[in-house]
Amino acid sequence: METATGLYYVEQHSPSMRFAYRVRRPIFSGKTRFQKVDIVELDVFGKTVFLDEKIQSAAVDEYIYHESLVHPVLVAHPAPRRVFVAGGGEGATLREILRHNTVERAVMVDIDGEFVDLCRVHLPEWHQGAFEDPRVEVIHDDARKYLFDTEEVYDVVISDLTEPLEEGPSQLLFTREFYAGVLDRLSPDGMLVVQSASADPVYADFVASIARTLEELFPVVRVFWAFVFSFQMPWSFVVASRRVDPALLVEKEVEDRLRERGVEGLRYYSPELHPAMFRLPAYLREVLQKGRVLTDQDPYVYPD
């Protein structure tokens, strides 16, 4: 959108809300086989990625999202050696996983190889060379198909996927059937973490349904959150486990594990913050009681 004050990128956040961001410099705009990709430099957020015209990641605070997605679950696991990532195209999720010296293998399966290649070129600040790490294998395939076909067992599975838009590539990766397949691929102490979108007072039905669906399968399910400035709202994550409860991990345990694993350079996640991330406000606890079980026949469709 061109105005008297410059060029703006307009995002339709929901049917009732629209955000406009002033663009300093366009970097890339085009379509892959699976989605529309825009990479722009914004006045406030710096370099920013939009997929299907929805904000995905911004230089100003991508570390908040990626550290929150990765470290609470990896720290809670007693010895994460094999990690699977569904999605994760920017490479920043891999970057955070590889901070843990216990990790011997990280498999990232992202269906959109064209987008991953764009990230390799345009987002070096995000991946910081993680794609070239010898512990990493990057596969361009459907993450559900890959998990269902493989015999490999993982200690941690990380779902770093776009929200399930109608006819989008990730719709059936947020269902009971998919999570049952994940459970089959987890080790005895195995854990799953899902980025589950907004935790605000209005649009929290998605996280509620993710949590409710996972409760059908896993003995331990916990919701945690972080405020992501570029998303302009609190953001939720759901962790599910066979037996480890990350919400019970105390500050000293987190501190010891980060030190033992050589994890350094974190800008958001910390031993002091870990327990607080699992403390939820009353409105969110109330909303979480209203989720529904998502299935292949009745998946969640995010509002355009």
Distance CA 113, CA 161 (A): 14
Q: Which residues contact 239 (CB under 8 A, 6 or more apart)?
A: 72, 73, 76, 191, 192, 193, 194, 221, 222, 224, 246
Set 52, 117, 160, 298: catalytic member: 160
Kindly report the length of the chain.
Answer: 304
150 burial (CB, 10 Å; 0-12 / 13-18 / 19+) is: middle
What are the phi and psi torsion angles at 208 (to 5°)?
-60, -40
Separation CA 161–CA 170 (nearest Å): 7
d(CA 55, CA 48): 8
Calpha distance 94→125 (Å, rounded): 13
155 is catalytic: no
| 126-148 burial code (b ≥16 CB/10 A, e <16) | bbeebbebebbebebebbbebbe
Report the relative pairing of strands 82-87 and 105-109 from DSSP bridges. Answer: parallel
- For residue 121 the two structure tokens come to 């070129």
Residue in this structure with the two tokens 């945690």, named with its chain if needed: 224
Catalytic residues: 160
